[in-house]
Structure 1
Amino acid sequence: MKFYYLFLSIVLFNFHSLVLLGQVSQQDPLTPLSFARQDSFYSEALNENRKMNIYLPESFHEVSDDHTYPVLLLLEDEFFYMVSGVVKHLSSVERMPETIVVSILDMSYVPTVHTNGSTFWPTEKLADQNPDPFTKHLKEELFPYLKSKYRANDFRIIMGLSFTSVYVHHTFVNEPGLFDAHIAIASGDILGMGYKEGERFIDLIAGEVKNHPGRKNYLYVTSADGDGGGNSPEIGENLMELDSILSPLESENFKYISKLFPDEGHYDVALPALIEALGMVFPKKEWFARYRNIVNQPGNAMHNIDKYYERLSKKYGFRILPRAERWNSGNRLSLIGPYLIKQKRVAEGIEILERCVELRPNSPDSFYDLAKAYENDNQIEKAVVTLSKAYELSRQLKLPGSEQYLDHLEKLKKNADKQ
């Protein structure tokens, strides 16, 4: 049954993609939904035009420029909709940061490796490419481009499946610092391969971890037990061997999972493995902040929230901001502000709603919530200015409800005149 739902979700994502890319007839009555885009630019390093699919967080255009985003680089575009959907959901429930997903449409720059007698790949070698131009493209072109155009930060995750996971292992071994987390799915067979005959990624990875104990990184490697069964037993053996070598090397700086995933097939494993990998990189106990618990601790409410995210920012190396808005959740500033006001902590509640406006300067709702707080605190002039901004934004964005803002604004102005 779970495979049926997985298949259905992929079908729906792909149907949405047809709408997004304009492949549904203009006479079709359906309304397009935008959750992704396709971008391209010319690469000097590769001497070719490079296309990529990009998923941006839904609030990208509403929030302030202080918001920057990690990048998940996906080497298998076939899984773009699935990965984007998982990232969207997990970030929406604050189980991970809002993240940009970039899917490479043409990943042909996989380094040549010897298969060392793999029964899963009955060839002497895989690929026949020099990966260095592609790596140069990432370092000097793609990542700077994402930073300048999409506010990407320097926390990066790479994800490959099956064949493309070769490049994931390659960057772990040869490009330290290029990625903070490496996710290699359907990759147990690749662990037994290497650049030279008889050389193995198992030993190369282990050597990299042993030689650089202070290197901060996350490594996730798995294959389905459907692959590592009787026909290709080396897949499971490779994963278990890597696990036994890395186990004593795990530390605060280095976290890993190397396992044979139960009850899954070669590509079926992509969904549950991705969820597990992201949970390793972003543990729930750290990311699922309970805002009411935080503000009810001793001290100023906004200060307590800031301290929580400053600690998280220090761990991950980029600025992580509290969520001003979230769907159907009390773990957001826009609801914690009114909560504090009801608790007679009016100044603290207003301070939090003022922060909402700073974080979401293009959101009429943020200005409206703050205007109501000012009005209830009898700060009528501030309420008028703030509600005027909500009204103007609503008109600019052509949102429904602008006239309700206007009606409320006229009443406020009359109250201000009376004062």
Structure 2
Amino acid sequence: MKTKTIKQIILCIIGLLCYHPSNAQVAHKIETTEDQQLLGLGTQHIFKSTVLQEERPIIISLPIGYEDTGANYPVLYVLDGLQNIKHTVGTVELLTESGLIPPLIVVGIESLDRNRDLTPSNAGQDLHGSTGNAGIPQSGGASKFLKFLREELIPFVDVNFRSHSYRILEGHSLGGLFSIYTLMENPNLFDAFVVEAPALWWNKEEMTAKATTFFTSNKNLDKTVYFGIGGGDGWGMRQELIRYVDVIEQHTPNNFKWLHEEVGNEGHMASRLLLNYKGLKFLFSDLKLSEDLTDNFSDIAFLKAEQELKKKYGEMARRPAEDYFNLVSVLVENGNDLGAITVLKRASEVYPMYIGLLTYLAGLYEKTGQKNKAIETYLHGVEVSKNYKQGQEDDLLQEISRLEKTNKP
């Protein structure tokens, strides 16, 4: 093996993994229509709802690679789907590439009458945003809309797509209000929530009034909830959300993982993209390697933790590539080359386009006297280089030739 210090190897792989465009920025082809319009946001389905007595447009976006696997995927249900589908799908793809979230099926539920569907009660006179004393007469349909989700839409998705049991509901403004209503009305329907700038002013903050009873009655609540709002949001939003999360602070159930944060100085509508990004990162923050797993590493503990993540979020779940690499660097520095091999094998399986992981793995195989496995790994790297047009075939073949010569009697 060519003489390199551990530090040189680390710097080399960091370069390959994080900065080389052919490794870290492999583009997936987006299908086009006959007139060259880019697709990629999903497919619209017209769902005939018996509960709502109407045809409801639904946008379903499948994760990259869905057709190439038999895997099941968690499902993100997005309220006001037509309004939010573009930035949501883009954010999901970016976070998935980075390993910060697992691949998701995104279901965008188009709004036809959000004042009806997303409000938990009928709004009477003196309602903010209404005219005169009439209020919003069609409001108060949240219970029926929740029934539509529970009895029609979710079963439709589960039957027709490879969905994992882990479900997320995301909503902004009135959608955030509905998300909080759903959490307290039917807490078992979703595992996690992204609540963005919720309209908790609705009917004199009735959701906050109900919160004390809900959170004190549920001593154990295994849910993850992100409560986010722009720092520039105005009347009816920021202070009302603070009052709601104050109730949680005082009566936090066991196993209830939650975060409340104000983001920058964004206003009510501009905050959606940032809140979607930060919210999804928070929900899946357990994909990050824990200090305990690093400090007390064992092959058994590491592989068990990987299996637990796959069980929770689906078999395509993985950690950020940088986390695997950082763990490998610690193990190598501590002289645990075999442990580093275990981690690199897992990392190269879940990031199959990263040549740097394969070359590092091959080098460790050689270092530990496993030359045949080193050759096999370099050969695999040649195929990856060809498939992703990374242009490293000659260098890899030279390493194979060198190893084959040293293997001769």
**Letter of the structure 2 residue corresponding to residue 374 of structure 1:** Y
Distance 1:407 1:215, change over 3 A: same
Mapped partners of 1:357, 1:223: distance in 2: 38
Match for residue 338 of structure 2 among 344, 347, 352: 347
Mapped partners of 1:342, 1:222: distance in 2: 40
Greater mean alpha carbon deviation, residues 36-45 or residues 348-357? 36-45
Alignment correspondent of 2:127: 118
Equivalent position SS for 2:153:
helix
Match for residue 56 of structure 1 among 54, 63, 76: 63
1:308-347 alignment, distance < 5 Å: 323=319, 326=321, 329=322, 331-333=323-325, 336-337=327-328, 340-341=331-332, 343-347=334-338
Structure 2 portions without partners, runs of 5+: 1-28
1:104 Cα deviation after fit: 1.0
The answer on whether the counterparts of 2:77 and 2:106 sit within 8 Å (CA) in structure 1 is: yes
Alignment correspondent of 1:174: 185
1:71 aligns with 2:68: no
Alignment correspondent of 2:207: 201
Equivalent position SS for 1:71:
strand
C-alpha distance after superposition, 1:310-338 (max 9, x if no partner): 78789x67779663x62xx4x224x6446
1:136 aligns with 2:114: no
Equivalent position SS for 1:388:
helix
Distance 1:62 1:389, change over 3 A: farther
1:39 Cα deviation after fit: 3.0
Distance 1:139 1:360, change over 3 A: same
**Letter of the structure 2 residue corresponding to residue 252 of structure 1:** N
The answer on whether the counterparts of 2:332 and 2:340 sit within 8 Å (CA) in structure 1 is: yes
Equivalent position SS for 1:214:
coil
Mapped partners of 2:61, 2:351: distance in 1: 22
Match for residue 215 of structure 1 among 217, 221, 226: 221
Mapped partners of 2:355, 2:263: distance in 1: 46
TM-score by length of 2: 0.67
The answer on whether the counterparts of 2:78 and 2:108 sit within 8 Å (CA) in structure 1 is: yes
The answer on whether the counterparts of 1:357 and 1:366 sit within 8 Å (CA) in structure 2 is: yes
Mapped partners of 1:342, 1:354: distance in 2: 18
C-alpha distance after superposition, 1:64-120 (max 9, x if no partner): 978x654332223433344445555666666x4335261515233725641243213
Alignment correspondent of 2:102: 98
C-alpha distance after superposition, 1:212-243 (max 9, x if no partner): 322222445566676643xxxx5566435434
1:23 Cα deviation after fit: 8.5
Match for residue 270 of structure 2 among 261, 268, 271: 268
Mapped partners of 2:209, 2:228: distance in 1: 17
The answer on whether the counterparts of 1:157 and 1:180 sit within 8 Å (CA) in structure 2 is: yes
Distance 1:366 1:75, change over 3 A: same
Match for residue 391 of structure 1 among 377, 382, 385: 382
Q: CA RMSD in A?
A: 4.6
1:140 Cα deviation after fit: 0.6
Greater mean alpha carbon deviation, residues 302-311 or residues 167-176? 302-311
Equivalent position SS for 2:343:
helix
1:282 Cα deviation after fit: 5.0
The answer on whether the counterparts of 1:43 and 1:137 sit within 8 Å (CA) in structure 2 is: no
C-alpha distance after superposition, 1:277-296 (max 9, x if no partner): 4565456xx654377x854x
Equivalent position SS for 1:120:
coil
Mapped partners of 2:213, 2:77: distance in 1: 25
Structure 1 portions without partners, runs of 5+: 1-18, 195-199
Equivalent position SS for 1:332:
helix
1:276 Cα deviation after fit: 5.5
1:161 Cα deviation after fit: 1.6
Equivalent position SS for 1:104:
strand
1:247 Cα deviation after fit: 3.1
Distance 1:250 1:50, change over 3 A: same
Greater mean alpha carbon deviation, residues 360-369 or residues 406-415? 360-369
Match for residue 198 of structure 2 among 187, 191, 194: 187
C-alpha distance after superposition, 1:183-207 (max 9, x if no partner): 332323454379xxxxx33344444
C-alpha distance after superposition, 1:117-172 (max 9, x if no partner): 321344333558642334333321224544x1xxx533322111223335323422
1:44 Cα deviation after fit: 6.2
Q: How many residues align?
A: 366
The answer on whether the counterparts of 1:350 and 1:370 sit within 8 Å (CA) in structure 2 is: yes
Mapped partners of 2:104, 2:153: distance in 1: 15
1:402 Cα deviation after fit: 3.3
**Letter of the structure 2 residue corresponding to residue 54 of structure 1:** S
Match for residue 364 of structure 2 among 373, 387, 391: 373
Mapped partners of 2:228, 2:398: distance in 1: 59
Alignment correspondent of 1:153: 164
1:177 Cα deviation after fit: 1.5
Alignment correspondent of 2:241: 239
Alignment correspondent of 1:249: 251
**Letter of the structure 2 residue corresponding to residue 270 of structure 1:** R
Percent identity of paired positions between Structure 1 and Structure 2:
17
Equivalent position SS for 2:42:
strand
Mapped partners of 2:276, 2:190: distance in 1: 16
Distance 1:223 1:71, change over 3 A: same
**Letter of the structure 1 residue corresponding to residue 85 of structure 2:** F
Greater mean alpha carbon deviation, residues 182-191 or residues 41-50? 41-50
The answer on whether the counterparts of 1:228 and 1:235 sit within 8 Å (CA) in structure 2 is: yes
Mapped partners of 2:229, 2:73: distance in 1: 29
